[in-house]
Structure 1
Amino acid sequence: MTITHTYSSIAEKSPGRVAIHTESEQITYQDWARLVSQTANWLRSLPSMPKRVAILLPNSLAFLQLFAGAAAAGCTAVPIDTRWSAAECKERLSISNADLVVTLAFFKNKLTDSQTPVVLLDNCMADISEAAADPLPTIDPEHPFYMGFTSGSTGKPKAFTRSHRSWIESFTCTETDFSISSDDKVLIPGTLMSSHFLYGAVSTLFLGGTVCLLKKFSPAQTKEWLSRESVSVLYTVPTMTDAIARIEGFPNSPVKIISSGADWPAESKKKLAAKWPHLKLYDFYGTSELSFVTYSSPEDSKWKPHSAGRPFHNVQIEIRSAAGERCQPGEIGKIFVKSPMRFSGYVNGSAPDESGWMTVDDMGSVDEDGFLYISGRENGMIVYGGLNIFPEEIERVLLSCPEVENAAVVGIPDEYWGEIAVAVIHGNTDARKLKALCKQKLASYKIPKKWVFTNCLPETSSGKIARSSVRKWLEEGAV
């Protein structure tokens, strides 16, 4: 079983159903199934069949075609971000050891220093159109079909791989826990370089729904598609959700929002639900390595507004102390996860052990009802005079202020304390007001010692704050 194996059966049952709808084109499942098969057979017909196929393309039907075709052929697809510099592209291609890269002539200048063979999209499309749509050989479900890169919010990027089986297990969560089906029209407004949005598109195709794909995120376009196309599901991240809300972009219809990020402030969710009561808000906690871990349904968000939710139906969680012992409810420790959805491992690095349990060094606790609360990441923890401070806890407080659009808290070296917390704020407010807010909700030692205001904060492709960039900026003299 592979991530593409349902296409032919969907095409037989519903040949005219739209599989993908973009701003400029759309394709039915009958044509989609044939196109993916042709793409896979084209790859397999090359003189030396590539093991790893890099894709340097913007959001488009062609991107999904090459991604799905590579997976169906038994290759590993390696998305490359069009926003990366030539040096960044070269680094990722080297890490991935890609056998070829498919791109547009417009992006070819990003590949001048790379040794990876380049195939232009227009050229390969002509060859694909002539390829056979013959049945494909059986692929081992443990075979890696996707290579992604960690977002780099804490430093040098690492490549990881995911198997067909891991995503097929994840699809059961989409179907069971999010209740998404073939009846849904799913809007993907973010870059397919983000695993969140890529997964949203690929899972929808597996289930037989319709993918509505934007070329790039635009609050105005998202608003238009939500109202014009009768969209029933929207994949998003908290920063996008806030941008759509600012332009009154949500319809008064039961749209289901699937948001990645245990960093979605409870106050923001509460305000959104109050203003648009027909919206069904789902957010989840997960990582590139672990996949889905916990989720909050609309009812959960009302009952446990500050939690990261309950485990998905096929996930187990344990909180362990530094000594490896299981923590009591409410006690903070390291989060360990047992799941059939975990990644295959890092490229040239570690892989999950045979115990089935794994951690990415996130810290948190569970309550008596089994709901998870995220404290922060162990390697992002600020040690202030021997006391542990989790930046995420402070950021949640800062983001509860309506005038704060975004916030990042990082630690910088201090001769006396070891490290101090610095808050970097994007918003229309001042340090005095934010300090007062922190005093109400945090222990005194957790209140940032320095405050910096800026017009924007750097983000990764997945919509998270790029902490390494913020820290570097501060160390270079911003404070």
Structure 2
Amino acid sequence: MNLAHMLTQNARRFPDRPGFIWGERTWTWREIDGEVNALAAALAARGIGKGDRILVHSKNCAEMFWSLFAAFRLGAVWVPTNFRLMPEEIVYLATSSGARAFLCHGAFPDHAAIIAERAPAVEFTWRFDEGGFGETSVGEAIAAHRGDSVPLCPVEHDDPCWFFFTSGTTGRSKAAVLTHGQMAFVVTNHLCDLLPGTTEQDASLVVAPLSHGAGVHQLNQVARGAVTILLPTDRFDIEEAYRLIERHRVTNMFTVPTILKMLAEHPAADRYDHSSLRYVIYAGAPMYREDQKTALRKLGKVIVQYFGLGEVTGNITVLPPALHDPEDGPAARIGTCGFERTGMQVSIQDDEGRELAPFQTGEICVIGPAVFAGYYDNPEANAKAFRDGWFRTGDLGHIDEEGFVYITGRASDMFISGGSNIYPREVEEKILTHPGIAEAAVLGVPDPLWGEVGVAVCVAREGVVVTEEEMLAFLGPKMTRYKLPKRFFFWEALPKSGYGKVPKRMVRDELEARGHLAEMGVKS
């Protein structure tokens, strides 16, 4: 099935129910279906058809959402970017994806200019919102074709619908090819494992960019006819988020741990009614236990964790609300990211691809219908990513005897000090039990004696002063000496990616920029 058919289904079953809310504007499912049809007709008139790639660089907005389904309807491929990327980076995404069209938010004229100059395969640029660039605006293109209809393009299971760019933490981003058949399974699985019971009575608040995980999450809402609500601006306004939750009786959200932490710790959580929430999903990175406890005590047992990568569209493990407990004890599955998703299989493997016994640490590998079709035009990356049919996640971890998966960390994050493996996440968890520490990142840096040693970058809670000596004294009784970081640095904030993660690469770059590595004798 072409995924755009979900809109047509909603327009038939729920024509007058709200399907999308942004600020004070509400669109019904009938109106959304009409907007998407008009945009698809406009793109078709410009020569876009099956298999063509449409590069989309935009903040969250209604027309960006329409463009997703217009691409699907045409059998074209939606190629969204992180809107925080620099113009030079967008050129690479345009050329590596083979994009023929560029839809760009009006706030990014420099991106449009460099595409026109350096990406000759891109035949035209249309803009979202106001701006003085581009052949036309998406709104004008829709208006010119309003009332037109484009038949659903027939698609096969393996026809691509979305190029999901990796975050590029270990090099240049790669385009993971997501297909209509794969995504149909992912939507069904998300509704089964993450959001059971979702119907047209539900409401979903978007607090993350639609270009990645939040966009996938909203497909689930469309599949069940639930309304999608955007924040009125691209700034993450926590007060406004709670106001919308109360006003629209929001039942679910997709977040990352940093966003969930901010929501749970903000005073607005005590001023607004959020009792309608049933599923607050967090993914993209493991959530530290202390932050889990805070979220559970503030929001209740509504949080859902899933583990996955863009290449598997999040579809590896799930830890449902019932298995989250605010108190440490037998009922709390501390440290796990959950069990295998329905229809998926996880294997912990050594470097030769042999499956390891329970509790042995190795690479987390996965197989099943949610795994992507491979990286676009990148046989070398595909050869590294797959082994005997298994997708290699690059994450380290183990499985217990009941099948619960525990992530130790990224293989690239692990470092070796004095011949012993050190997993930063384990150290970070211990650091965060200190009542004065809000955030922490640990990484290994070169050392002439030990090979590598740990460095901890911490963010103290507001109004609290914590010293290096205090942290060493606090951690000393809690962990083996060789795991103790050699140095502690205290910053006002940790660097974060556009999706709220804390890439160790960015922390390392900032350590170098501040001169901390040089003072430790580390050569750049």
Q: Is contact 2:246-2:274 (8 Å) kept?
A: no
Q: Could you tell me which residue of structure 1 aligns to residue 323 of structure 2?
A: 300
- 1:260-319 C-alpha deviation (Å, 9 max, x unpaired): 145212222223223333x41111111111221111112222331221111111111111
Letter in 1 for 2:254: Y
Name the SS for the 1:42 alignment partner: helix
Distance 1:168 1:377 in 2: 29
Pick one of 338, 342, 348 that aligns with 2:377: 348
In the alignment, structure 1 residue 384 sits paired with structure 2 residue 417 = yes
Structure 1, unaligned runs of 5 or more: none
In the alignment, structure 1 residue 211 sits paired with structure 2 residue 228 = yes
- 1:403-433 C-alpha deviation (Å, 9 max, x unpaired): 3222211222222222221111122433233
Q: Is contact 2:256-2:285 (8 Å) kept?
A: no
Letter in 2 for 1:267: E
Q: Could you tell me which residue of structure 2 aligns to residue 434 of structure 1?
A: 471
Q: Could you tell me which residue of structure 2 aligns to residue 124 of structure 1?
A: 138
Map residues 333-412 of structure 1 onto 2, 5 A cutoff: 333-349=362-378, 350-351=381-382, 355-412=388-445
Q: Could you tell me which residue of structure 1 aligns to residue 308 of structure 2?
A: 286
Letter in 2 for 1:237: V
Distance 2:84 2:507 in 1: 19
TM-superposed deviation, 1:233: 0.7
Letter in 1 for 2:316: V
TM-superposed deviation, 1:390: 1.5
Letter in 2 for 1:280: V
Distance 2:187 2:245 in 1: 23
Q: Is contact 1:222-1:249 (8 Å) kept?
A: no
TM-superposed deviation, 1:375: 0.8
Structure with more contact order per residue of length (Cα contacts < 8 Å, sep ≥ 6): 1
* Distance change (3 Å), C-alpha of 1:420 and 1:180: farther
Pick one of 492, 512, 518 that aligns with 1:455: 492
Letter in 1 for 2:261: D
TM-score normalised to structure 1 length? 0.94
TM-superposed deviation, 1:180: 4.8
Distance 2:317 2:187 in 1: 15
Q: Is contact 1:262-1:284 (8 Å) kept?
A: no
305-314 or 259-268, larger mean C-alpha shift: 259-268
Structure 2, unaligned runs of 5 or more: 129-135, 326-330, 518-524
Q: Is contact 2:2-2:153 (8 Å) kept?
A: no
* Distance change (3 Å), C-alpha of 1:105 and 1:313: closer
Q: Could you tell me which residue of structure 2 aligns to residue 38 of structure 1?
A: 38
Q: Could you tell me which residue of structure 1 aligns to residue 206 of structure 2?
A: 188
Q: Is contact 1:185-1:233 (8 Å) kept?
A: yes
TM-superposed deviation, 1:254: 4.4
Distance 2:320 2:47 in 1: 50
Letter in 2 for 1:224: R
Map residues 215-234 of structure 1 onto 2, 5 A cutoff: 215-216=233-234, 217-234=236-253
* Distance change (3 Å), C-alpha of 1:41 and 1:252: closer
* Distance change (3 Å), C-alpha of 1:40 and 1:334: same
Distance 1:83 1:329 in 2: 41
TM-superposed deviation, 1:48: 5.5
Name the SS for the 1:347 alignment partner: coil
* Distance change (3 Å), C-alpha of 1:106 and 1:236: closer
Q: Is contact 2:22-2:229 (8 Å) kept?
A: yes
* Distance change (3 Å), C-alpha of 1:186 and 1:5: same
TM-superposed deviation, 1:137: 2.5
In the alignment, structure 1 residue 275 sits paired with structure 2 residue 308 = no
TM-score normalised to structure 2 length? 0.86
Distance 1:367 1:112 in 2: 53
Distance 1:70 1:42 in 2: 11
Letter in 2 for 1:125: G
What is the RMSD computed on CA atoms of the aligned residues?
A: 2.1
Q: Could you tell me which residue of structure 1 aligns to residue 256 of structure 2?
A: 237
Q: Could you tell me which residue of structure 2 aligns to residue 16 of structure 1?
A: 16
Name the SS for the 2:287 alignment partner: coil
Q: Is contact 1:153-1:465 (8 Å) kept?
A: no
In the alignment, structure 1 residue 247 sits paired with structure 2 residue 293 = no
Distance 2:227 2:433 in 1: 35
Q: Is contact 1:101-1:118 (8 Å) kept?
A: yes
Q: Is contact 1:35-1:133 (8 Å) kept?
A: no
Q: Is contact 1:235-1:259 (8 Å) kept?
A: yes
Distance 2:48 2:287 in 1: 46
What is the aligned residue count?
A: 477
Map residues 76-95 of structure 1 onto 2, 5 A cutoff: 76-95=77-96
454-463 or 243-252, larger mean C-alpha shift: 243-252
Distance 2:355 2:500 in 1: 33
- 1:144-194 C-alpha deviation (Å, 9 max, x unpaired): 11112211333332222211222211112221112152221011111223x
- 1:76-130 C-alpha deviation (Å, 9 max, x unpaired): 1111333222222222222222112112443122232222332233533223233
Q: Could you tell me which residue of structure 1 aligns to residue 520 of structure 2?
A: none
In the alignment, structure 1 residue 266 sits paired with structure 2 residue 289 = yes
TM-superposed deviation, 1:69: 0.7
Distance 2:485 2:23 in 1: 45
Letter in 1 for 2:431: L
- 1:232-259 C-alpha deviation (Å, 9 max, x unpaired): 1121111111212222344351412111
